[in-house]
Amino acid sequence: MLRNRFQKELETLNQELISMAALIEKIIGDSTMALTRQDKVLCERVISYKDEVNIFKAEIESKALKIILMQQPVASDLRKISTALKMITDLERIAGQARDICEIVIHLCDEDYQPTIEILPQMSELTRQMVYDCVNSFVKEDLELAAKVIETDDIIDSLFDKLKKKMIKLIKDKPSFADQAIYFLMVGKHLEKIGDHAENIAEWVKYSKSGKHKNIKII
């Protein structure tokens, strides 16, 4: 009976995580759409999602702590719950990176873009997929999917290196667009950090099954 109750509470927690992740995916996509469309209104909407993200975080924290206090979970269950707590921290930080992108975009909305920025939407789409996959890997206990997320971060890093080379060339060839190039580099860096956070979530998913985080035994 107690075990059934625990499983139901854990499933509710998982559904909250999925809902939070869906919002984070939207925030990433909207921030990049705002960049490509130079849309200040969309930027402001992304920034306004901060309260909704904080509500999700608080609700999940509350549910997780209640499970720990009321159900006295065994070690394997405790790993799942502690992983959920780690995940929402990274998800919140991902939302913060997307807001930072929009703060940059606001400065760019009235400018004609000199370089093409196809690399940035590529990075954005990959990070959105990483967020989706890392949360699903947790819910489904799918370590192969978690490993895929970790591998994808290498692609993000490679795209950022490509962006850096492109922006450095722009600065050399057209110094008058140096500020714009630096802004695009900053956007790329935020997307790279989003990838790092998604990778970190995937590492915690592995921990939830093995008790090891990056080969260090925790519980």
The contacts of residue 65 (CB under 8 Å, 6+ apart) are none
Q: What is the pLDDT of residues 109-161, one digit of tens each?
A: 988 888 778 999 999 999 999 999 999 999 999 999 999 999 999 999 999 99
Structure confidence by residue, pLDDT tens digits, 37-77: 999 999 999 999 999 999 999 999 999 988 888 767 677 78
Q: How far is CA 145 from CA 51, 68, 108, 129, 196, in A?
A: 30, 27, 36, 11, 16
Domain count, the chain: 1
CA dihedral 36, 42, 44, 49 (to 10 degrees): -110
pLDDT at 218: 54
Q: What is the pTM of this model?
A: 0.92
pLDDT band at 217 (very low <50, low <70, confident <90, very high): low
- Residue pair 93/25 in contact (Cβ under 8 Å)? The answer is no
Domain containing 132 equals: 3-217
Q: What CATH number should be reported for the domain holding residue 61?
A: 1.20.58.220
